[in-house]
Structure 1
Amino acid sequence: MTLETAAANASYGSSASGSSFYAAMRILPQEQREAMFQIYGFCRQVDDIADSDGPRPERLAALRRWREDIDALYQGHPPPRLRDYAPSVQRFGLQREDFLAIVDGMEMDVPQDIRAPDLATLDLYCDRVASAVGRLSVRVFGLPREDGILLAHHLGRALQLTNILRDIDEDAHLGRLYLPFEGLLHAGITSNDPLKVVADPALPKVCAPLVERARAHFEQADEIMGRNPRRVVRAPRIMSKYYRAILELLVARGFATPRNPVRLNKMARIAIVLRYAFI
């Protein structure tokens, strides 16, 4: 690992400290931990491009350069910012298409802000920005191929749907609305203006089916993790329990206005790590 990459990974670790990701990754052996921080670092960088307020053509060009760099990595000529990924790619069999899927997902937000996608598009978005990350991660964790793909599918969607429900107001102020078009229509909401939608009294009716969808994915993920050795599912189980707790806090708070931010307190986070990492 070069000094540049080591510094970058330290930065990503620092920025993730206190998060479910950081707690879950810290319990891994060194090689796995380094690979996971590389995956996290990649996701952070492309996400920062998608979320920046720079001109859209410039953001698209920056994501295109990431595609080119990923291709170069897998052709055996990694650019400087990906040079230290090569050993992890080889050691854990990380797949090029999963890295590119993440870029595809970030790109969905760039030409224009996502507003009320249909359910199929929302599911595709969740697959690209979350389950593709999971497909890389389960290879590092060491899950069997079939169960690993299934876990990435269900846990990735559970986490992303929870993020969407948690960040409704924050996303609306960025001009984005990830709540599905079908759900809005069912609730009698005809606007796709994010700020109007999040202020609508019918919003809880839109959120309820997403809560149930997320819960179903969490249950499927739990079933998969339950049939695999505890040592290989410690990290994803911690992330699952963190996010499931956040989802239930959101439900307890409700989705009507006013909506105060929801966070898992420090003692609850520590309890989850102790229970699923060490006990």
Structure 2
Amino acid sequence: MQVTSHKNISLLEAQRYCRRLARAHYENFTVGSLLLPRELRQHVYNVYAYARVADDFADELLSDEESLAKLTDWEHKLEACYQGETDHPVFVALADTIQQFQIPITPFRSLLRAFRQ
């Protein structure tokens, strides 16, 4: 999966991006998300999109060095997200979720650490 920078993306556009990404990968995810309260669905899409992209980086048919470089770049984008400095749609949407639920950076970093192993 190619991830590119998206300047000046709105929260609504970022949320659509995450929702499309989640729905495009697993049909069961879309069905399962209907069991969630409506007000939580978008937040689950946002977190899922973060994990989905990281998983794609780990699973791509690249050299280990290239995969690790992409995961490191994704972690830098995560850190920028926590500093309020992001322009990637996944992180624009994720920042809203992080703020609303006061999610610490640790679980997101732990996921990347697991993908690096």
The question of a shared fold, defined as TM-score above 0.5 by the shorter chain, is answered with yes
Across the aligned residues of Structure 1 and Structure 2, the Cα RMSD in angstroms comes to 1.7
Structure of greater Rg: 1
Determine if contact 2:18/2:93 at 8 Å carries over to the other structure. Answer: no
What does residue 109 of structure 2 align with?
Answer: 100
Q: 1:16 aligns with which of 21, 26, 47?
A: 26
Count of equivalent residues: 106
Give identity over the alignment, percent: 23
SS in 1 for 2:71: helix
Moved over 6 A (4+): none
Q: Deviations over 1:97-143 (max 9, x none)?
A: 100100001111xxxxxxxxxxxxxxxxxxxxxxxxxxxxxxxxxxx
Q: By how many angstroms is 1:29 displaced?
A: 2.7
**Where do 1:216-255 residues align within 5 Å?**
none
Please state how far the C-alpha of 1:94 moved relative to its aligned partner. Answer: 1.6
Return the letter of the residue paired with 2:66. E
Following superposition, the deviation at residue 50 of structure 1 comes to 0.8
Structure 1 residue matching 2:62: 3-state secondary structure: coil
What does residue range 61-100 of structure 1 map to in structure 2 within 5 Å?
A: 61-81=69-89, 82-100=91-109
What is the match of residue 56 of structure 2?
Answer: 48
Offset from partner CA, 1:178-222 (integer Å, 9 cap, x none): xxxxxxxxxxxxxxxxxxxxxxxxxxxxxxxxxxxxxxxxxxxxx
Measure the CA separation in 1 of the matches of 2:37 and 2:43.
10
**Matching residue of 2:6:** none
Question: 1:5: Cα distance to partner?
Answer: 4.1
Shift of 1:62: 0.5
Q: Deviations over 1:132-185 (max 9, x none)?
A: xxxxxxxxxxxxxxxxxxxxxxxxxxxxxxxxxxxxxxxxxxxxxxxxxxxxxx
Distance change in 2, residues 1:66/1:100 (3 Å): same
User: Normalized against structure 2, the TM-score is what?
Assistant: 0.79
Once the two structures are superposed, residues 9-49 of structure 1 have per-residue CA deviations (whole angstroms, 9 ceiling, x without a partner) of 223123221x2x43332222333100101111111111111
User: TM (normalized to structure 1)?
Assistant: 0.35
Tell me if structure 2 keeps the 8 A contact 1:25–1:33. Answer: yes
Evaluate the alpha carbon distance shift between residue 105 and residue 12 of structure 1 in structure 2; reply closer, same or farther with a 3 A threshold.
same
Tell me, in whole angstroms, the C-alpha distance in 2 between the residues paired with 1:32 and 1:79.
23
Give the one of 3, 6, 16 matched to 2:13.
3
Shift of 1:92: 1.3
Mapped to 2, the partners of 1:44 and 1:11 lie a distance apart of 8
Q: Contact conserved, 1:5 with 1:84, CA < 8 A, in 2?
A: yes
| Partners of 1:72 and 1:79 within 8 A in 2 | no
Aligned pairs (5 A) from 1:117-266: none
